[in-house]
A and B are shown apart, each in its own frame.
Chain A
């Protein structure tokens, strides 16, 4: 063990916090205030524990903790390095805010089975934190599957035909790709390498240098498509299907935790298993970029056609996730930085957007973009936050998304990839194309006949979280150094 690695049981404690939260929620399910209290305290403790690791990680050290030694080369081991911290910070910080939003939404909507909902929510966060803190492919796969299983009850929450069919699609897509593609890839890597541990840098990877080029291409494709939570086409259909879930789920899980699990795992595998050297040597970066650029463009075009607000946001998510992967496949420092900080920047903006959609639904029972005319008069805070989120998605200055795009474009220019630059700019236009119309309608069109301008915001438990994440989206433009420094700590 080298000096930069510290064995620390704090990792285990951090991981167990959301699990304990789940048990607490289940035990105190009868008393809803106490139950929500448990969720809230759990989320804050989790965030503080994650944050407390920051100084150590920023000083260039890595925390590790081995939980189970299963077979030689196969273990359940946790690690916290710069890349883990990016995702763990995003997931845990947003959970602290999301607890309040969910409470407001679920109570305003008189939802059934709120205990189950809260328990599964905490379990999904447990899975996401586990993914963030995985030290090897097996640990990552374990938590990846835990996330799939635990989010099923959340997607099927409404327990009606639509809910069941969306949830069925969800679980079929996610487990089939994981088992059919990622599982064999993992076992093949184990057979080739003898263990599944991630490398400790982004360049060298762990695969043997003399590996056959067809085999490495196969592994690459299996990993890229096998981790279907990353929303890469053609295995993206589960995400729009999952929008039947209550909005708090769509927001935290299907804009942040679950999809970021997919992108995080994909980036982790690309950088720490294949490594930039091997991706470059076998031109896998070109293959990867082509696939994700296609996803960006197609998803943006499909988003243009959707009138349902949550569906449009879902397709926007699919395209934004691929931005992260574009960054990774650019292989340059600027590109990777742009990609991984977009994990954070996209999260804050997209959760704002979904929460706005939920607030609109609760306050005015509107779900479609064509119904938004003049809504800003009734819900100025919500629509203001929506605008901030949307502008960040488009990549306008003053908002976090600009920083990501700046780095991505720089990365593409560094690599002299003018085609990628072109596609990034084109997709920006498309982003504007599907986000500007609802904003325009809400602010500048007249309210439908019969509706008054009376203020009709959602409950404060929902509006305050929305304002908070919207402000964070702007804060990350003016002060992006935390995530950038973490990203740069990953890189040589």
Chain B
């Protein structure tokens, strides 16, 4: 238990975060008032966000241990525990989740018109399960929440989605489920091998045999690569993004995708370090493929949501690239980029949603030339687009800079191969921006459009704040993760010893 740090001032803070939204959802079951549901969901998510603040202020940045831990036994016969905690890798993701949820509620304020309280219940259950996934330290607890997430998301897409919502929701469900089945097999093997315990920290840094590690890694890889999504497991993403309501897209992009990369950091590297070393070059080049593929595909889109969805494939390629170069710059850049992508892509989906609410179309063609009539809107959009392609001074630049610096340290050709992705990102974002702000000489008449209202400005402003805060002063964010990342990499490099020899044995 030496990996755990209990905080006597806030013993139940994580449990409160997890169960507060769930309790809020349960209460909503008994209410049939749409307006109350909106305010109630906003209240609950805001309260959750406020409660999460002490996590930041009381987090010990000098410790790589899991903090704010709560531990009690749950299912004694199977040795399943209720154990939760955060470390430098998960804390930012927890904060991202709690901060983004109230904004998702705000974004759905007038967008969702039917079955409002059901929608809010889904959002609140989503929040519970997402927070749970990031803090769970018992594999069963993790797995239950990981799967539980699928149901509200399935409903969000399937009920409030666009014209092809059923197709998209089923595809989303099946893809993720297919990945997690393999994860379950891996978990059961680890359970048996580790003395019938599901306690995650005890599974890390064990010298499992190489062949076992390879199988476990592949199981992890499939589950997490689908979730990220890495090329070529990404095809569920555009469908789900396009059909989901705005809040659904934001949650998908900002939080759900991060679970894949979080899984790599939390499970794949510590549990199967030697297998990770063996597969590292393949994962790296797959990341490059994703970066380039995502970029080119995004460039060809006429549907704004699809464009941003494919840009996510590219951006998440940068994240996996950073993780698997396995040096401090790369991994820190990757974690920062996870947050950045959450902020920027979330904001971009909100922007598209705001246009959709007005024109009822996601087509780029029908949104051309709105700059003249919606100056506030295009100002926000400009900053988020610049951030998306890594304009210096914005959040994504810092993340990409660190990732590329890590990649250059690892191998110059690899890093150079990722650079066209940065160019493509500029190309597709500027293309979209140009069309929306200026259009061409044959723009549709947009003079009837109204600019953003106060609620919409309030929804977007926090995102803009983080774009520049992380862009110009990322040190506090990096400090939070630094100790955990250094510890992770030290341990990793100590445990990858035999891998090089094994790699030769397997592949030559």
B434: A residues at CB distance < 8 A: 168
Docked Cα-Cα span, A149 to B475, in Å, equals: 27
B391 at the A interface (CB under 8 A): yes
Knowing A156-B438, A187-B401, A187-B415, the reply to whether A171 touches B392 (Cβ < 8 A) is no
B163: A residues at CB distance < 8 A: none
B426 at the A interface (CB under 8 A): yes
A454 at the B interface (CB under 8 A): no
A149: B residues at CB distance < 8 A: 386, 391
Binds A, one of B30-38, B113-121, B355-363, B403-411: B403-411
Docked Cα-Cα span, A339 to B392, in Å, equals: 29
A164: B residues at CB distance < 8 A: 438, 440-441
- Distance of A260 from chain B, by nearest CB (Å): 20
Flag if A159 contacts B438 (CB, 8 Å).
yes
Docked Cα-Cα span, A164 to B419, in Å, equals: 27
User: Given A138, A145, A179, which contacts B419 in the complex, CB threshold below 8 Å?
Assistant: A179
Nearest A residue to B472 via CB reads: A68
B472: A residues at CB distance < 8 A: 68, 70, 76
Docked Cα-Cα span, A188 to B402, in Å, equals: 11
A172 at the B interface (CB under 8 A): yes
Docked Cα-Cα span, A164 to B430, in Å, equals: 13
Docked Cα-Cα span, A48 to B285, in Å, equals: 54
Flag if B426 contacts A70 (CB, 8 Å).
no
A141 at the B interface (CB under 8 A): yes
Knowing A70-B473, A180-B419, A187-B415, the reply to whether A171 touches B430 (Cβ < 8 A) is yes
Docked Cα-Cα span, A68 to B420, in Å, equals: 28
Nearest B residue to A113 via CB reads: B372
B412: A residues at CB distance < 8 A: 188
Flag if B398 contacts A159 (CB, 8 Å).
no
B427 at the A interface (CB under 8 A): yes
Mark contacts of B405-442 with chain A using CB atoms, 8 A cut-off: 1 yes-contact digit, 0 otherwise. 10011001001100110110011001000100010110
Within 8 A of A (CB), among B45-82: none
Docked Cα-Cα span, A168 to B435, in Å, equals: 11
- Distance of A226 from chain B, by nearest CB (Å): 11
Flag if A71 contacts B427 (CB, 8 Å).
no
B474 at the A interface (CB under 8 A): yes
Docked Cα-Cα span, A179 to B412, in Å, equals: 16
User: Given A68, A172, A180, A190, which contacts B473 in the complex, CB threshold below 8 Å?
Assistant: A68
- Distance of A68 from chain B, by nearest CB (Å): 4
B393: A residues at CB distance < 8 A: 76, 142
A384 at the B interface (CB under 8 A): no
A209 at the B interface (CB under 8 A): no
Flag if A180 contacts B420 (CB, 8 Å).
yes
B415: A residues at CB distance < 8 A: 184, 187
Knowing A145-B391, A184-B419, the reply to whether A70 touches B398 (Cβ < 8 A) is yes
Docked Cα-Cα span, A142 to B434, in Å, equals: 21
Within 8 A of B (CB), among A196-217: none
Among A164, A176, A180, A191, residue most surrounded by chain B Cβ atoms (within 10 Å): A191
Flag if A71 contacts B392 (CB, 8 Å).
no
Flag if A138 contacts B392 (CB, 8 Å).
yes
Flag if B441 contacts A160 (CB, 8 Å).
yes
B401: A residues at CB distance < 8 A: 71, 74, 187, 190
- Distance of B401 from chain A, by nearest CB (Å): 6
Docked Cα-Cα span, A149 to B392, in Å, equals: 12
Docked Cα-Cα span, A168 to B475, in Å, equals: 36
Among A68, A180, A187, A191, residue most surrounded by chain B Cβ atoms (within 10 Å): A187
Nearest A residue to B473 via CB reads: A68
Flag if A187 contacts B475 (CB, 8 Å).
no
Flag if A145 contacts B392 (CB, 8 Å).
yes
Docked Cα-Cα span, A168 to B440, in Å, equals: 11
Nearest B residue to A140 via CB reads: B392
Range, interface on chain A: 20 to 34
Flag if B405 contacts A187 (CB, 8 Å).
yes
Docked Cα-Cα span, A191 to B473, in Å, equals: 20
Docked Cα-Cα span, A201 to B399, in Å, equals: 32
User: Given B386, B391, B441, which contacts A161 in the complex, CB threshold below 8 Å?
Assistant: B441
A183 at the B interface (CB under 8 A): yes
A156: B residues at CB distance < 8 A: 438
Flag if B422 contacts A183 (CB, 8 Å).
yes
Flag if A191 contacts B405 (CB, 8 Å).
yes
B422: A residues at CB distance < 8 A: 179-180, 183
Mark contacts of A138-165 with chain B using CB atoms, 8 A cut-off: 1 yes-contact digit, 0 otherwise. 1001100100010001001001110010
Docked Cα-Cα span, A21 to B34, in Å, equals: 47
Flag if B426 contacts A179 (CB, 8 Å).
yes
Docked Cα-Cα span, A145 to B391, in Å, equals: 8
Within 8 A of A (CB), among B285-339: none
A141: B residues at CB distance < 8 A: 392
Flag if B423 contacts A191 (CB, 8 Å).
no
B408: A residues at CB distance < 8 A: 184, 187-188, 191
Within 8 A of B (CB), among A43-77: 68-71, 74, 76
Mark contacts of B244-255 with chain A using CB atoms, 8 A cut-off: 1 yes-contact digit, 0 otherwise. 000000000000
Flag if A176 contacts B474 (CB, 8 Å).
no
Nearest B residue to A67 via CB reads: B472
User: Given B409, B420, B423, B475, which contacts A71 in the complex, CB threshold below 8 Å?
Assistant: B475
- Distance of A475 from chain B, by nearest CB (Å): 38
- Distance of B468 from chain A, by nearest CB (Å): 10
- Distance of A9 from chain B, by nearest CB (Å): 17
- Distance of A26 from chain B, by nearest CB (Å): 9
Within 8 A of A (CB), among B334-385: none
Docked Cα-Cα span, A183 to B415, in Å, equals: 11
Nearest A residue to B329 via CB reads: A191
A175 at the B interface (CB under 8 A): yes
Docked Cα-Cα span, A180 to B417, in Å, equals: 10
Docked Cα-Cα span, A176 to B295, in Å, equals: 14
A153: B residues at CB distance < 8 A: 438
B478: A residues at CB distance < 8 A: 71
Flag if A71 contacts B430 (CB, 8 Å).
no
B427: A residues at CB distance < 8 A: 172, 175-176
Docked Cα-Cα span, A160 to B419, in Å, equals: 33
Flag if B391 contacts A71 (CB, 8 Å).
no
B409: A residues at CB distance < 8 A: 191
Docked Cα-Cα span, A172 to B416, in Å, equals: 19
Docked Cα-Cα span, A172 to B429, in Å, equals: 12
Docked Cα-Cα span, A164 to B440, in Å, equals: 7
Nearest A residue to B375 via CB reads: A26
Docked Cα-Cα span, A191 to B422, in Å, equals: 18
A159: B residues at CB distance < 8 A: 438, 441
User: Given A71, A175, A176, A180, which contacts B398 in the complex, CB threshold below 8 Å?
Assistant: A71
B441: A residues at CB distance < 8 A: 159-161, 164
Nearest A residue to B415 via CB reads: A184
- Distance of A244 from chain B, by nearest CB (Å): 14
A74: B residues at CB distance < 8 A: 401
Besides the contacts A176-B423, A179-B419, what 7 more A-B pairs have beta carbons closer than 8 Å?
A145-B391, A145-B392, A164-B441, A172-B427, A183-B404, A184-B408, A190-B405
Nearest 4 interchain pairs by C-beta:
A142-B392, A68-B472, A179-B423, A191-B408
- 17 chain-A/chain-B pairs, Cβ below 8 angstroms: A70-B398, A70-B472, A71-B474, A71-B478, A145-B392, A153-B438, A168-B434, A175-B427, A180-B420, A180-B422, A180-B423, A184-B408, A184-B416, A187-B404, A187-B408, A190-B401, A191-B408
